[in-house]
Chain A
Amino acid sequence: MRMLTLSVFIVALSTLSATALSAAPVSLAADVTAVTQPSVLASYARDSASQPGAGQWTVGIFNPLEIGITDDLSVLTHPLLILASPNVTLRYHVTDVAGFRVVAEAGLALPRLAMAAPLPLGLAGWFFPACKVSTHEQNGEGTCDRPGWILVPHLGAVASFGTDHVTSVRVEFAAGLPLSGQLARPLEHIAPADLIFAPSTYGWRSKIGVRHDHLVLPRVRISAEANLYAVGASEEPIRSPWTLSGHLGVDVQLSAGLRLTGGVLLTNSDQRAQELVYKAGYATRKSVRSTDFWPTLDLIWTP
């Protein structure tokens, strides 16, 4: 029962985390459904340079809402996070070169409430301080590490090649700019969540990734993805800023407009883990990287 509870919690958290990095479709397993012909939804690759056509849109439970303004310009936001972290991203089709469609992205997020408000709006009291005494006494801010207001702008670009079988390359950079107060304390655990909040905790996050999406049946796609992340310097003692991730996923078209996605996300990062090393009967501690896998699951609707 204990592990079942824990498993449900982890699935929910990791899926949300894996699809909600910053305010952009930049996540580890982010889903951006390119839809121009909903009846053949499965033939379009997610998380690529494709965009909804003018007037079309797509949204998932955890995946973002993307609305096509023109055939070359779309606007994107995460509805689930809109209160906790107001966010918007513009995606613009810049050019086509050597068979690649290239889209530039720029966006903003304000994740203050995600860090400073209690559940269900934010994670204060869980991943961030609740500051109950300071709130009660109204003079205890000296011991409260409540994060300030932090604006998170981000820039990125994605280039995709192919139609049935799509290969994409993505680069992006996000920074945390304190408007007041201080950056939040880094989580240093649950790699997907650590990366989501990285601009607000480490000061910045960058990513380079490659993804291949393969049509294997008329209604089924499979995908594989690898990413390399870097984040700003940690507090002492310094930890490795690098995170490697991989994702294997499958998309199944359930109906003309509905897609079920699932997969497994793997992360390898420095989460301050240690192991004991024995010599002559005595122990010493050695730092090791942590490797984890996380289930991802979502339903994406494209009317």
Chain B
Amino acid sequence: MNIVSRIFVFALMLWITTGCEWLYDAQDFSSEPAPIFRAATLTDPGTPSQPAQLRVVAWNIKYGAARIPFWFDCWGDKVQMSRQEVEANLDKLAALIDEMDPDILMLEEIEVNSKRSAYIDMLQVLLDKTSMNYGAYFESWDSRWVAADGLGRMNLGNAILSRYPITDALRIKQAERSDQDPLTSAFYIKRVIGRAEVELRGLTAAPTERKVAAFVVHTEAYDNDGTKQKQIQQIYDEVTKETLPYVLGGDFNELPPTAARKQDFPDERQSAVCSEDFAQPPYTPEVMQPFFDDLQPWISLSRYGTSEAAQARWFTHSVLGPDETNEAGEPGRWNRTLDYLFASKGKWVYESGDVLQRAAQPVAQRDGSTAPLVGDPQRLSDHAPVFGIWEVQ
């Protein structure tokens, strides 16, 4: 073998041993630190009063797809968005976030480097375009490629954004589905609980022990083996051992325990078109009862009501938007509650808890007044943001 051949072989061997990226994140951990990002320009919120009134929002933003009909929803075939589409949707999301003006914002279905959302780092975009200063990212689906309809690279997760410094962030693994074949399971979304510690101080103030914890969750939607119920129980177990005052928010993919309608939602297809992989399994609302019993919900069950008409005011989800129709020709409307806010110590400011369902809806301001929403949540995601003002020492 001549010298050229030797160099060639050596270079190839070196190549083999360096730079390989795993095909997917197998999440071989029980919990691990999560990365914290910050906005390009920080805006000092000042140190909050004592007790603090923290404006809290949880919102599933559907990876910036707004009402674009994606293939797994079974009302369209879209698989990928253009950069322009994602940027336009993110601009509207950012504007509505600033209208809600949260101190702590929990986001579900945010993407940072996914093919379907044009590889845009949504967390950094939202940090840079809103008054939020810090963001912890909790990756739940990291695959180099997902061989489903050309989905390709995927990096989706949940995030906690804060105007105040985030000093610690933890990603806690949730139970995995056991009803999938090994290959599907390997590349399928994994669920995690995100926990962040937020220091209640202005950006120029000295570090303090005055901290709260925030949890963001997004449980499984399509399992038929009880995975979601296990995950919800795990969330309960995890938050109830928290020592700091905490707020919990997210998309539980589960109805409230007193939900009037539990099946036959108007945004479900009547005809079989898509894969059974994305069929809605029966809800089990009773698993949410401990959260209402032992924590402080942003909307109490008495306020939630008992009839479907009364509960409609608090619905947070619809696959179809108002500009789309189901097979009966009815336009999409919010039709079930899946998103929640719960707190431990402290209290929700009286009747501050809300679901921001549509444009022109009044939203509480920091000075105690209200102002109508300019943005239209119905057209920005398949979930509505849930909002509350949490008073905590």
Chain A interface (Cβ < 8 Å from any Cβ of B): 1-2, 5-6, 9, 125-134, 136, 140, 143-146, 185, 187-190, 212, 224, 226, 235-237, 246, 248, 264, 266, 268, 271-274, 276, 278, 281-285, 288-293
Nearest chain A CB to B185's CB is how many angstroms away?
7
* B83 interface neighbour in A128, A145, A237, A289, Cβ under 8 Å: A237
CA distance A163 to B186 in the complex (A): 47
* A283 interface neighbour in B36, B68, B82, B113, Cβ under 8 Å: B36
CA distance A274 to B186 in the complex (A): 20
Are the C-beta atoms of A235 and B83 separated by less than 8 Å?
yes
B337 is an interface residue with CB less than 8 A from chain A? no
B74 is an interface residue with CB less than 8 A from chain A? yes
CA distance A246 to B35 in the complex (A): 35
B351 is an interface residue with CB less than 8 A from chain A? no
Are the C-beta atoms of A226 and B148 separated by less than 8 Å?
no
Are the C-beta atoms of A274 and B273 separated by less than 8 Å?
no
Nearest chain A CB to B277's CB is how many angstroms away?
11
Q: Which of B31-74 contact A (CB under 8 A)?
A: 35-38, 68-69, 71, 74
Are the C-beta atoms of A285 and B153 separated by less than 8 Å?
no
Known: A129-B150, A189-B145. A283 touches B118 (CB 8 A): no
* B147 interface neighbour in A127, A129, A224, A290, Cβ under 8 Å: A127
Taking CB atoms, residues of chain A closer than 8 Å to B11 are: 246
Known: A6-B186, A274-B113. A236 touches B273 (CB 8 A): no
Taking CB atoms, residues of chain B closer than 8 Å to A129 are: 71, 77, 79, 149-150
Known: A143-B77, A236-B118. A2 touches B147 (CB 8 A): no
B5 is an interface residue with CB less than 8 A from chain A? yes
Are the C-beta atoms of B118 and A266 separated by less than 8 Å?
no
Q: Which of B167-195 contact A (CB under 8 A)?
A: 181-183, 185-186
Q: Scoring B residues 1 to 28 as 1 if CB is less than 8 Å from chain A, else 0, what string do you get?
A: 0000100110110011011110100000
B78 is an interface residue with CB less than 8 A from chain A? yes
Interface centre among A131, A268, A278 (most CB of B within 10 A): A131
Nearest chain B CB to A135's CB is how many angstroms away?
9
Are the C-beta atoms of B183 and A143 separated by less than 8 Å?
no
Known: A285-B112, A292-B20. A237 touches B37 (CB 8 A): no
CA distance A149 to B153 in the complex (A): 25
Taking CB atoms, residues of chain A closer than 8 Å to B208 are: none
Are the C-beta atoms of B21 and A273 separated by less than 8 Å?
yes
B152 is an interface residue with CB less than 8 A from chain A? yes
Taking CB atoms, residues of chain A closer than 8 Å to B137 are: 283
B283 is an interface residue with CB less than 8 A from chain A? no
B292 is an interface residue with CB less than 8 A from chain A? no
Known: A136-B271, A226-B8, A264-B16. A237 touches B76 (CB 8 A): no
Chain B interface (Cβ < 8 Å from any Cβ of A): 5, 8-9, 11-12, 15-16, 18-21, 23, 35-38, 68-69, 71, 74-80, 82-83, 112-113, 115, 118-119, 121, 124, 137, 144-145, 147-150, 152-153, 155, 181-183, 185-186, 271, 273-275
Q: Which residue of A lies closest to B79 (CB)?
A: A129
CA distance A190 to B18 in the complex (A): 17
Are the C-beta atoms of A189 and B36 separated by less than 8 Å?
no
Taking CB atoms, residues of chain A closer than 8 Å to B15 are: 246, 266, 268, 291, 293
Known: A133-B75, A143-B77, A190-B145. A236 touches B83 (CB 8 A): yes
Are the C-beta atoms of B5 and A273 separated by less than 8 Å?
no
A-B contact pairs, 20 of them (CB 8 A): A1-B182, A6-B182, A6-B183, A125-B148, A128-B149, A132-B77, A140-B76, A143-B68, A143-B69, A145-B80, A187-B150, A189-B153, A236-B83, A246-B8, A268-B19, A276-B35, A284-B37, A285-B112, A290-B19, A291-B18
Taking CB atoms, residues of chain A closer than 8 Å to B155 are: 274
Known: A5-B182, A129-B150, A185-B80. A285 touches B121 (CB 8 A): yes
Known: A224-B9, A289-B19. A282 touches B274 (CB 8 A): no
Nearest chain B CB to A198's CB is how many angstroms away?
15
Taking CB atoms, residues of chain B closer than 8 Å to A235 are: 82-83, 118
Are the C-beta atoms of B79 and A283 separated by less than 8 Å?
no
* A248 interface neighbour in B9, B75, B113, B271, Cβ under 8 Å: B9
CA distance A276 to B76 in the complex (A): 35
Are the C-beta atoms of A189 and B77 separated by less than 8 Å?
no
Nearest chain A CB to B376's CB is how many angstroms away?
21
CA distance A164 to B160 in the complex (A): 65
Taking CB atoms, residues of chain B closer than 8 Å to A130 are: 71, 77, 149
Are the C-beta atoms of B78 and A282 separated by less than 8 Å?
no
